Amino acid sequence: MPASMTELRPAAIASVLLVDDEENILSSLRRVLRGEPYSVQIASSGEQALEVLRRQPVDLVISDARMPGMDGATLLAEVQKHWPESMRILLTGYADITTTIRAINQGQIYRYISKPWDDDELRLIMRQALAYQHSERERVRLEALTREQNLRLQELNETLEQRVKARTAELEQTADMLDLAYEELKRSYVTATEVFSSLVNQRIPRDKQTNSQVIALVRAYAEQHALGDGPSRDLSMAAALYNIGKLTWDDQLLNRPSDLLYKQERDRYRQYPSQGENLLMALEPLQDAARLIRHHQERWDGSGFPDRLKGEAIPFGARLLKLAVDFIELQRGSILERRLNRDEALLLIKKYSDRLYDPQLCEQFITLCTELAPDVTLADPSILALDTRRLEPGMVLARNLHAESGMLLLNEGKPLTRLLIDKLIAFEASEDGHYTLFVRIAEDAALATEKSP
């Protein structure tokens, strides 16, 4: 069985309810699911299916569209109303667009499948549905956990004794910054991926962490070449999560340069792009980014992995992502045993143009990196690097701000207010650190600056 299918299996045994008034259809479905990690229940009518649902929880309901009495669309609408967490799939052998539309609108079904079905496709769709359900449950669990932890922090702050007031103040400042980060997380999937990227970085040694620099590089290219919102967003999410497939590696493998890996380790290394794609494909907004992650280790001459794509068959975003990843990882010692400096990395990339990299894109990329400051910020006169005490209300954050731990604090594009600046100063003091923020000056503030002596 292909690895992509195997990895869609849910971790626990899922409960599946099959509903059809034809015994032979139910028998065929049970045959298809033989050997699958499911607890299978059957019902020959909509009413009987509802009785099963009232007695026990069901993860996935697969119902025929046409049944006497209660039809499939009506049944799935009832399931959606009373058991919304149960995934719903409509099985139809009729060209009945009205029933299908009603099932989609009222039952909010995950998918519909036409009879006769393809066994492999049916099993794959079920795994995808259950994987999506698992991710949604995990999201809800994490949100509830966050709320509970915030509540506990509040209770702790109310009951701490006088002798620990100093520590209480630090915790309050940290909680405030976490709340700000959480609000930014809800704004977009881009922000969400970068927050998750900061969590991934907790698994990776600090001197090997690359995501924030790779994100900055691809965004700089996207802005300079006006790639548009969609491609820029996909590139940013791919850059944030390109190494998610390395999460299961042990510390020894994470620390060893890829050119020094032994055969078994190299085989495992070559799997991480496709494993990263598999982890993200269940989330529809991340599917394009997942495709870039899959192909970011392909090579222009066709010698890359996992699919040995060649030339322009490699997605453009994946070609750009490879350049950015290699440029940063060469400087981090993740590819060669010796860490290269910035200029050495650019020379090596230029040397392998037309072999590893798209030659035209490689030339553009080298030009871009030559124009960038050493910390990968654009040489843009409207962007200033300021410490927290020089910030002014009305300034706009030009780069994501991360804590020393790698946690995302504020997202690019965030307007600065006096309250937010004060919180940043307090948080900096509680961390005993020093933060430099890259900001754009609003037009009215810039005019005032020009007029001042």
What are phi and psi for residue 351, nearest 5 degrees?
A: -60, -35
Which H/E stretch holds residue 362? helix 359-371
The tokens describing 355, both together, are: 């072999």
Helix 287-295 and helix 229-241: axis angle, to 10°? 60
Q: What are the start-end ranges of the E strands in 60-118?
A: 60-64, 87-92, 111-114
Helix 272-280 and helix 287-295: axis angle, to 10°? 180
CA–CA separation, 246 vs 271, rounded Å?
A: 9
Judge contact between 109 and 92, C-beta under 8 A.
no
CA–CA separation, 262 vs 337, rounded Å?
A: 14
Residue-by-residue pLDDT tens, the chain, 453 positions: 444 434 444 446 899 999 999 999 999 999 999 988 999 999 999 999 999 999 999 999 999 988 898 988 889 999 999 999 999 998 887 656 666 676 676 667 888 888 888 899 999 999 998 998 899 889 989 998 998 888 888 777 767 665 567 666 776 777 777 666 555 544 456 666 766 676 667 777 777 888 888 999 999 999 999 998 889 989 998 998 999 888 888 888 888 899 999 888 999 999 999 999 998 888 878 899 999 999 999 999 999 999 999 999 999 999 999 999 999 999 999 999 888 888 889 989 999 999 999 999 999 999 898 877 555 444 455 678 788 888 999 999 887 787 766 677 888 888 999 999 999 898 888 887 778 788 887 654 443 344 333
Query: What residue spans define the domains of the chain?
Result: 3-131, 134-174, 204-371, 383-451
What are phi and psi for residue 77, nearest 5 degrees?
A: -65, -40
Judge contact between 414 and 184, C-beta under 8 A.
yes
CA–CA separation, 326 vs 435, rounded Å?
A: 27
Residue with tokens 């924030």: 212
Give the largest Cα separation in the chain, rounded: 88
At residue 357, the 3 state secondary structure works out as strand
What fold is seen in the domain 204-371?
A: Hypothetical protein af1432 (1.10.3210)
On whether the 383-451 domain is CATH 3.10.590, my answer is: no
CA–CA separation, 85 vs 5, rounded Å?
A: 23
Residue with tokens 């991360």: 402
At residue 451, the 3 state secondary structure works out as helix
**Cα dihedral across residues 25, 3, 237, 287: positive or negative:** negative
Give the pTM: 0.46
Judge contact between 51 and 78, C-beta under 8 A.
no
Judge contact between 357 and 300, C-beta under 8 A.
yes
What are phi and psi for residue 184, nearest 5 degrees?
A: -65, -35
CA–CA separation, 264 vs 13, rounded Å?
A: 32
Question: Same topology for domains 3-131 and 204-371, yes or no?
Answer: no
What fold is seen in the domain 3-131?
A: Rossmann fold (3.40.50)
